[in-house]
Chain A
Amino acid sequence: MKNAAITGAGITRRAAVQLGGLAGFALLMTSCASPEAGPKATTDSGKPRSGGSVVVAVSGDPVSLAPFGMTNITGAYDKNLVYESLVSWDEEMNVIPGLATSWEVPDEKTYIFHLREGVKFHGGEELTAEDVKYSFESQKNPPPPGTVTTFFPKIERIEVIDPLTVKFVMGQADGTVLGYCAWLRYSYICPKGMYDALNPSNAANGTGPFRVDKYVPNDHVALSKNPEYWDKGLPYVDAVTMKVLAEVQSVLTGLTSGSVDIGFVDADSAVVLAGDPNLKIEKTPTAAFRELEFTLRGKNEPWADVRVRQAINAAIDRDVIIKNVYAGEALLSSKIPPSYGDWGTPESELRSKYQVFDLDKAMSLMKDAGFEDGFDVTLQSQTVPDILQVAQVLAEQLKAINIRVIVQPLEIGVFGENNATGNFDWQVTRRGMRGDPSQYLSDFDPSTSTYQSWFEGGYANEELTALIADGLAESDTAKRHEIYLKAQDIVMTEWPLVPLVAPMQFQVTRSRVQDMAIDVDGTYRYLPKAWVAS
């Protein structure tokens, strides 16, 4: 007997099974569709309500939950919700009370903080000045696996005045203390002796609005509401899943399908999501402006001549970078990025005076410097797509003044090592958030490791060094403002580094989540005030 399945005569058994399988798959997918399937606008604003849970997409694993000396922003996503510091920022980056209710600065070398009474750590201990002392001493010299950072203020010693009062005695005048604390990332406060009580790399004990329930590396951190949180009523949501989704398309599909409630996306993805009525998109310039960096180590580099660096700046058309790499969603940036309000050089001045694209001027400068025929140089870049694209645009643009740029994409570990040790000619990278605007100029402070790696022996400007010191010592905001504008003027005249652009960052939120303010730092510090609509 002929087997119809083999010969294919008529509708075979196999064909019927295949059709049935396809129909079943379609039925299954439809039944699995999110309850919010289909375009449906939900607008429920009004009074915040407690309860519910949210899923937040984060771009990378925290790597370690240790509060001291970990520089990766991926750790800050979780730790900013679990730990707190003496002060914080509101949505306008104004310093507001945190674990300290008030503070005094009786002289330029003394800070006195008055702690909030009755605050408890997740483990039940009550916050005292001893915990603050322990925490800041650990920030200064982080236990392993942490590493010392360049941002710790010039605190010489910490004194406990009474259980709720702590004094910082500064080694020198330093106006960055409040900004350092408000930034959170390096100034977390934990109970005294915490490193002996638990493994801080994978467990946490803070005062923050959320507690760590579970940490699954490369997958997620599960947070739950801290019922003893000092700010009564907050947080509104009961649980947060900080899910690692390194691929932006995964974030995009998660947001559209409803499996992710909050996430940051790039400009191209924001355009795709713009028409979705279930999503809200907010944007702000990132503090992580893109920058072209040189090493100037007195090795007769062609760019050691200031005219060459000025030519490089004049040959860069930043509007092309803004348009082609960031879809128009980026701003010009000074050494202090535009996200810092009016601390950075105004955009109008950048456009009219400092960052003017002028090829004729560039060629003339190269000729005056004796480099009319240009030179070859290697430009190291991270493999992050937009940074690599910026490198490629720079390479293309600098051809016009005969600089032959070889773009060298590097894996992040190698790139970071080279960046730290100054083992590069040129690099293009993104800078990051700072607690105080002055810290963007710490690159030129001879006492920092960055200066020693990048500029020692090759670049020094006494006026700039003096301005950095003056700015730290100055307590009057208006005067600090003047000092840093002057410092930026020097940097953008001599161009030891070339700030490029500050891309916009886009926070996308499902409409069920209300009042989720966007954080300039790109973390989720305002999540405690977000709530889930019914």
Chain B
Amino acid sequence: MGQAIPTLLGMTVLIFLLVRLLPGDVTSAMTGAEGGGTAEQNEALLESLGLKDPLPVQYWNFLTGMLNGDMGNSYLSGLPISQILGNAIPITLEITILATLFAVVVGVPLGVLSAVKRNTAPDVGIRIGGLFGLSIPHFWFGILALLLTSSVFHWVPQVTWIPIWEDFGGNLLQMALPSLAVSLSLLAAIMRMTRTSLLEVLGEDYVRTAKAKGASTSRVITRHALRNALVPVITLIGADIGNLMGGAAVIEVVFGLPGVGNTLVQATFLRDYPIVQSTAVFLALVFVSLNLVVDLLYKTLDPRIEYAS
């Protein structure tokens, strides 16, 4: 916790500065060759948006706004950032959660099977599948999945987002393909990590002792080996969830979902600083929080783990 807060503060400074390093500003994003504004007019526009204030003043306004829950409004649509993110966050969170759940529910058992059936045909098949999962770009898989379902089943997910609280089944159906596409690489990584970790743990003395005492293979795995084997897997999930959220941006564009990633990408193109800053800080917050949760989970999984005071 002591490290999380300075990390987040540092992130806000970095995000604030990085977005202003991009060439151009919101006026140039609007104009191109068709804009005829004089330099004075463009300056007046920037002034009205607060972009001519000194950088420390702009940063202070941004930071205090975030802390007070007032993230400001989009320069272009005028909508409150809180409303825009309020629409976007559930989508990306849902994709991330579904993708993670799917990756864990499928990846861990596959990893276990692969470890137990080491060097047999199932093991080889699973490991080859894992390589595909790691190698296939998820946006390409997403496009392929869309093409397959549209041409074979004449079906694609509904184009406008269905909130889960409005139609649970419809929402799950809509989110299935994007979540599957996003989950592939994490699923493969979880499978491989579980396999490697489990093989290592299965060679430990206490496991051999348990087997010698007559415990069944399933009991040895579930009661003795898996808990320890999952520690690095949890680390992997925690590290990758941030990537999932960022990687979901491309999938959100492919499937036309107005999630956090899609919103961030479009706002970056348009130099809509309030959206970029707030969205990036949100992602940073999620990443830091998740890693904190992962660190706390270690203790639950392995009580021997102690943290330095």
Contacts and interface: CB of A to CB of B under 8 A. Distances in A.
Interface of A: 1, 3, 6, 8, 29-30, 32-34, 36-38, 55, 57, 60-61, 63-65, 69-72, 144-152, 199-202, 215-220, 241, 243-247, 249-250, 252-254, 256-260, 411-421, 429, 431-432, 448-450
Contact of B33 (A61, A250, A420): A420
Contacts of B48: 144
Interface string B61-77: 00000000000001111
B59 interface: no
Given A29-B153, A257-B150, A219 B34 contact: no
A144 B28 contact: no
B155 A411 contact: no
Interface stretch (B2-10, B18-26, B295-303): B18-26
Contacts of A220: 159-160
A71 B35 contact: yes
A148 B158 CA distance: 39
A288 to B, nearest CB: 12
A307 B245 CA distance: 54
Nearest to A423: B23
Contacts of B173: 32
B195 interface: no
Nearest to A255: B150
Contact of B22 (A200, A413, A432, A448): A413
Centre residue among A33, A151, A218, A252 by max chain B CB count within 10 A: A218
Contacts of B77: 63-65, 201-202, 215, 217
6 contacts: A69-B30, A144-B45, A145-B78, A217-B74, A219-B87, A249-B143
B256 A246 contact: yes
Given A8-B122, A249-B254, A253-B151, 15 more contacts: A30-B153, A33-B153, A36-B154, A60-B266, A147-B27, A147-B31, A147-B37, A148-B38, A253-B146, A259-B156, A413-B23, A414-B22, A416-B29, A416-B31, A450-B33
A414 B156 contact: no
Nearest to A71: B34
A291 B256 CA distance: 30
Interface of B: 22-24, 26-38, 41-42, 45, 48-49, 74-79, 84, 87-88, 116-117, 122, 143, 146-147, 149-151, 153-161, 173, 216-218, 253-258, 262-263, 266, 268-271
B159 A241 contact: yes
Contacts of B218: 3, 6
Contacts of A202: 77-79
Closest 6 CB pairs of A and B: A201-B78, A417-B24, A253-B150, A218-B258, A37-B154, A219-B258
A392 B76 CA distance: 34
B216 A38 contact: no
B161 A219 contact: yes
A245 B143 CA distance: 13
A257 B28 contact: no
Given A64-B76, A144-B49, A249 B36 contact: no
Nearest to A253: B150
B87 A412 contact: no
A11 to B, nearest CB: 15
Contact of B32 (A8, A30, A243, A416): A416
Contacts of A144: 45, 48-49
B153 A32 contact: yes
Contacts of A152: 36
A246 B28 CA distance: 21
Given A63-B270, A147-B41, A246-B256, A219 B160 contact: yes
Q: For the complex, would chain A's binding face be called helix, strand, loop or mixed by DSSP majority?
A: loop
B262 to A, nearest CB: 5
B236 to A, nearest CB: 24
Contacts of A249: 143, 146-147, 254
Contact of A217 (B49, B79, B147): B79
* Best-buried of A30, A145, A151, A244 by chain B (most CB within 10 Å): A145
Contacts of A146: 30
A57 B153 CA distance: 21
Contacts of A72: 30
Given A3-B216, A253-B147, A245 B23 contact: no
Contact of B150 (A216, A219, A256, A418): A256
B159 A412 contact: no
Contacts of A201: 74, 76-79
B78 A64 contact: yes
A29 B155 contact: yes
Given A202-B78, A249-B143, A413-B23, A254 B258 contact: no
Contacts of A432: 34
A65 B30 CA distance: 13
B26 to A, nearest CB: 7
A44 B34 CA distance: 42
Contacts of A63: 76-77, 270
B301 to A, nearest CB: 23
Given A250-B255, A253-B146, A34 B28 contact: no
A216 B155 contact: no
B37 A148 contact: yes
A34 B29 CA distance: 39
B263 A217 contact: yes
A478 B309 CA distance: 88
A145 B25 CA distance: 12
Contacts of B270: 63, 413
Contacts of A147: 27, 30-31, 35-37, 41-42, 45
A71 B28 contact: no
